[in-house]
Amino acid sequence: MLGDIIYKKLDELAEFSKDGEGVTRLPFTKEHKEAITWLEDLMNSANLTTKIDNIGNLIGEYKSPTKNAKTLVIGSHQDSVINGGKYDGALGIVLPIMCFKDFYETHGALNYNIKFIAFADEEGVSFQTAFLTSKAVVGSFTPDLLERVRYDGKTLKKSLENFGLNADISECKINDVDTFLELHIEQGPILDNKNLSLGIVDAIQGIERYHVEITGFAGHSGTIPMDMRRDAGVGAAFVISRITEFAENLKNIVVTVGCLELIPGAVNVIPGKSIFSIDIRAMDPLLIKTMVDKINSVLSETCEKRDLSFVLERKMKADSTICSKNVINMLEESMKSAGVPIFHMTSGAGHDAQEMATIMDAGMLFIRCKKGISHNKEESVMTEDIDVACKVLAEYFKCYK
Ligand code: HGY
Ligand code: MN
Ligand code: MN
C-alpha cells in the first residue's frame, strides 16, 4: 500500500538531520540542502517541474492542459525543531506528492494546476520567528527580518548567501493561486483518544512570541549577602513561575518558556543577565493581550523589587485563523466519498496555513499521531492512517474545483 511506501520515504528523509536524538534539520544548512535535493528527485519522479525560490522554498509544479485553470497549492515545511520527530512538516510534503503521482498515473490530466511547496523555515527556531518562508510566498516578508541573527551569529541574509541565495525575496510572492491545503500530524492527543485517523481543522490558534532580557549585576556567590544581590536569574525564576500560574488560571491559553539562558552561567557567579523566550497561544486575541499585559506588569514589579531592569521584545505574531469553508466542505465531501468518519477540530499548533490564509482559501487535514507526541523523537504515525489520508486526498483531487 501507498502508506507503507510513504512511511519508508519519510524514514529516508529523516536521515537528513544533524547528529543526535531525533531529527534536527534547520533551514539553510547542509541538512536542508540534502533534503531538498532528495525532495526534488521525488517531485521529478511525479513529473513535477521544480524550482527553488529566493528564500529556499522548493516548489514542484503540475501544469494542467486546461487554459486559465485554477491553482491548488499543497505543502508544509521541511525544517524541524531541535531533536524533533520525522513527521512534523515532512509528512505534509511527501504524502501529497506520492498521492498525486499515484492519482495522475491512474486518472491522467487534471483540469487545475497544482503547486507543491516544501517551505524552508516554518518553525522559527533559527531566527526567532515562525512561518518565515511562507511569509515570503504570501508577500508579508519584511526586509528587517534579513538582519535576524541565528545561533552561529550569522544573519538571515548571510545564511541565505551561504546557501547560494542572494536575490530579491519580494520575487517569492506567488500570484494566481486559489486554494491552499496542508496535511499535517495533529501534534495533540485528540484523534488518538477518539481512535480517528483524520480531523478537519476549523481554526488555528493565534501565536505571539517574545524575547526577554533581565539585567542585574554579576557577583561572587559566596560573599554577597542575599539582600544586596541583583540576581537576574532569580528575577527570571519569579517572572516565569508567576506568568505560568496566571496562564493556568486564565484558561484557554498556553504559555511556554522554551529557551532560558543565565549569563555568565558559572556555578559560583550570581547571574548578571538572564535571557528567555515566551511563546503564547490562544484562539481569542483578547486573551493573548491580557497575558502580555500581565507579563509586562510582573516584569516591572519583579525588577523594581530586585533592582533589575528588563527588555521585552515581540519577535513574531500570527493571528488566529478561521479555515476556509470551501476547503472544509471539500474535505467533508472527500471524507464522505472515502467512507471516512468526519471529525472537526481546532489546531493548537501554528502552521504555514495561517500565512497562506492571508492571500487565499486555506485549510488543513490532520493525521493522527500516537498519543499526540510531537517535537520529540518519539513522534510516530501509523501506515494505516497514511493510507486513509491518501484515500481522502485522492477524493479531494477528484472533487477540487
Ligand atoms: O510552533 C508550532 O506551533 C509549530 O510546530 N511550528
Ligand atoms: Mn513543529
Ligand atoms: Mn509543523
Return the percentage of the chain with pLDDT > 90, whole number: 99
Scanning 215-371, the segments in alpha helix (DSSP H) are: 232-250, 285-305, 325-337, 352-356
Residue 356 predicted with pLDDT over 90: yes
Choose the residue to mutate in 78, 79, 81, 369 for probing ligand 1, maximizing ligand atoms within 8 Å of C-beta.
81
Q: What is the residue extent of each domain of the chain? A: 2-205+320-399, 207-318
CATH number of 207-318: 3.30.70.360
124 Cα nearest atom in ligand 1: 6
How close is the Cα of 374 to the center of ligand 3, in Å? Answer: 9
Return the percentage of the chain with pLDDT > 70, whole number: 100
- Angstrom distances, CA of residue 382 to CA of 27, 92, 124: 27, 15, 27
Give mean pLDDT, residues 313-318: 95
Pocket of ligand 1 contains residue 390 by CB under 6 Å: no
- Angstrom distances, CA of residue 95 to CA of 129, 216, 352: 26, 51, 17
**47-58 residue pLDDT tens:** 999 999 999 999
User: Is it true that 2-205+320-399 and 207-318 share their CATH fold?
Assistant: no
* Cα–Cα distance for residue pair 16/18, rounded to 1 Å: 7
Give the pLDDT of residue 211.
Answer: 97
Q: How far is CA 220 from the centre of its chain?
A: 42
Task: Assign 215 a pLDDT band (cuts: 50, 70, 90).
Answer: very high
Residue 166 predicted with pLDDT over 90: no
Give the pLDDT of residue 167.
Answer: 79
Pocket of ligand 1 contains residue 130 by CB under 6 Å: yes
Pocket of ligand 1 contains residue 84 by CB under 6 Å: no
How close is the Cα of 89 to the center of ligand 3, in Å? Answer: 5
**In the block, residue with C-alpha cell 518562508:** 133
The cell for 171 is: 520575487
166: left (phi over 0), alpha (psi -120 to 50) or beta: alpha
Task: Assign 39 a pLDDT band (cuts: 50, 70, 90).
Answer: very high
CB neighbours of 168 closer than 8 A, spacing ≥ 6? 54
* Helix, strand, or coil (residue 379): coil
pTM above 0.85, yes or no: yes
Measured in degrees and rounded to the nearest 5, phi and psi for residue 289 equal -65, -40
How close is the Cα of 355 to the center of ligand 2, in Å? Answer: 15
Task: Assign 247 a pLDDT band (cuts: 50, 70, 90).
Answer: very high
Give mean pLDDT, residues 267-294: 98
Give mean pLDDT, residues 186-190: 98
* Cα–Cα distance for residue pair 262/348, rounded to 1 Å: 30
Superfamily in which the 2-205+320-399 domain is placed by CATH: Zn peptidases (3.40.630.10)
The cell for 4 is: 507503507
Give the pLDDT of residue 363.
Answer: 98
Pocket of ligand 1 contains residue 79 by CB under 6 Å: no
Pocket of ligand 1 contains residue 279 by CB under 6 Å: no
Give mean pLDDT, residues 104-131: 96
The cell for 24 is: 534536527
Pocket of ligand 1 contains residue 283 by CB under 6 Å: no
Give the pLDDT of residue 35.
Answer: 98
